[in-house]
């Protein structure tokens, strides 16, 4: 499958130097405009000089890999179909085959002191290394989300309190080695119900749907120490459709397994989110109804066929 999918050149994916958000007001405004264009055009960008050290990212991926390498009976302690569980392990089997296309573990990560005690303690460095990464990526996410809010033309301090108190869930994934010619996806196409998702990956595998090219699938290469930022449904609602959540999927690799960490960031669980009033007028009527993350989780439990973002459209 990968061989049939065009690979985006690194220059086609906007790269933001996070340190420039702290320069003079002119430099910041240029960066914010670049973020606006990237969110509107592709729904994804990547960040460099983000302050999350190579040691922290490598240790987080390493501990996660060691967790997935544990015997299955040590991982299924956390096995659950309950989407409300703050720590949840699961697998996606391949039909008629004694293999899986993905293993995952989802862990609540904020406030970290409330949840870290319930995280896996095997491997022994799991809590320490994933905890350090969670703290660092959350700090980064608040910087990025504040710039994104500003890029929508909203006051940069708008929603700061909600963002600071917001939901943070870490999703660790392992995609076992599998030939792309088998046409088996590691993760089917979807959008994230987040404000943003920050992605750390051990190797390439992410593909996005490019709405600027007849909805063609494009492979997004992993590049150096950058982290990818994916626009989610909550931001699409807040922006009244100005930014679109990005459809994405994951393909398997024929040579080795792939490990990734998605940091899913949103508003507090019970907080209702709707289009910002500054972005609604006669020419741009309200396009989405208000909803909460709590409502979304109930929707997931209902196993409805319709996508949640579609259910919100007016």
- Among 231, 230, 207, which residue's Cα sits nearest to residue 219? 207
Q: How many CB atoms are located within 10 Å of the residue 2 CB?
A: 17
Cross-strand pairs, 279: none
Q: Parallel, antiparallel, or unpaired for β 206-210 and 168-175?
A: unpaired
> pTM of the entire structure?
0.93
Q: What is the pLDDT of residue 36?
A: 97
d(CA 86, CA 25): 40
Q: What is the pLDDT of residue 181?
A: 61
How many Cα atoms sit within 13 Å of 276 on the Cβ side?
19
The answer to whether 220 and 249 are in contact (CB under 8 A) is no
Q: What is the pLDDT of residue 99?
A: 66
Q: What is the pLDDT of residue 179?
A: 65
- Residuewise pLDDT in 10s, the chain (314 residues): 444 678 887 668 999 999 999 999 999 999 999 999 999 999 999 999 999 999 999 999 999 999 999 999 999 999 998 888 999 999 987 765 566 689 999 999 999 999 999 999 999 999 999 999 999 999 999 999 999 999 999 987 778 888 899 999 999 999 988 766 666 777 888 999 999 999 999 999 999 999 888 889 999 999 889 999 999 999 999 999 999 999 999 987 878 899 999 999 999 999 999 999 999 999 999 999 999 998 998 888 777 777 889 999 99
Give how far Cα 308 sits from Cα of 274, 311, 312, Å. Answer: 14, 5, 7
Q: What is the pLDDT of residue 176?
A: 87
Strand ranges, E, within the chain: 15-17, 44-48, 87-93, 100-108, 168-175, 185-190, 196-201, 206-210, 216-219, 227-231, 248-251, 258-265
The domain locations on the chain are: 2-312
d(CA 314, CA 307): 14
Sign for the pseudo-dihedral over CA of 197, 198, 200, 206: positive
The class (CATH top level) of 2-312 is: mainly beta
């Amino acid at each position: 499958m990968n061989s049939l999918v065009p690979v985006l050149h690194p220059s086609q994916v906007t790269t933001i130097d996070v340190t420039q958000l702290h320069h003079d007001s002119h430099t910041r405004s240029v960066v914010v405009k670049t973020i606006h264009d990237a969110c509107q055009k592709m729904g994804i960008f990547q960040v460099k000089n983000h302050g999350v050290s190579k040691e922290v990212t490598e240790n987080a991926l390493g501990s996660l890999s060691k967790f997935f390498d544990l015997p299955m009976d040590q991982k299924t302690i956390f096995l659950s179909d309950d989407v409300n569980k703050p720590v949840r392990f699961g697998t996606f089997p391949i039909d008629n085959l004694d293999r899986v296309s993905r293993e995952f573990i989802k862990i609540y990560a904020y406030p970290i002191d409330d949840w870290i005690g319930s995280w896996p303690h095997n491997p022994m460095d799991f809590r320490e290394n994933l905890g350090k990464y969670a703290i660092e990526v959350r700090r980064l996410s608040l910087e990025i989300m504040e710039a994104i809010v500003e890029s929508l033309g909203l006051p940069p301090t708008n929603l700061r309190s909600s963002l600071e108190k917001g939901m943070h869930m870490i999703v660790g994934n392992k995609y076992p080695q599998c030939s792309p010619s088998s046409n088996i996806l590691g993760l089917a196409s979807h959008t994230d119900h987040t404000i943003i998702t920050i992605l750390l990956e051990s190797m390439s595998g992410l593909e996005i749907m490019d709405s600027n090219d007849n909805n063609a699938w494009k492979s997004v290469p992993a590049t150096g120490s950058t982290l990818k930022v994916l626009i989610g449904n909550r931001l699409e609602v807040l922006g009244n459709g100005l930014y679109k959540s990005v459809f994405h999927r994951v393909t398997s690799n024929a040579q080795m397994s792939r490990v990734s960490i998605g940091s899913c960031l949103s508003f507090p669980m019970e907080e209702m989110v709707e289009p910002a009033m500054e972005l609604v007028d006669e020419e741009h009527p309200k396009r989405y109804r208000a909803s909460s993350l709590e409502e979304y989780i109930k929707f997931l439990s209902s196993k409805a066929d319709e996508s949640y973002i579609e259910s919100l459209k007016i």
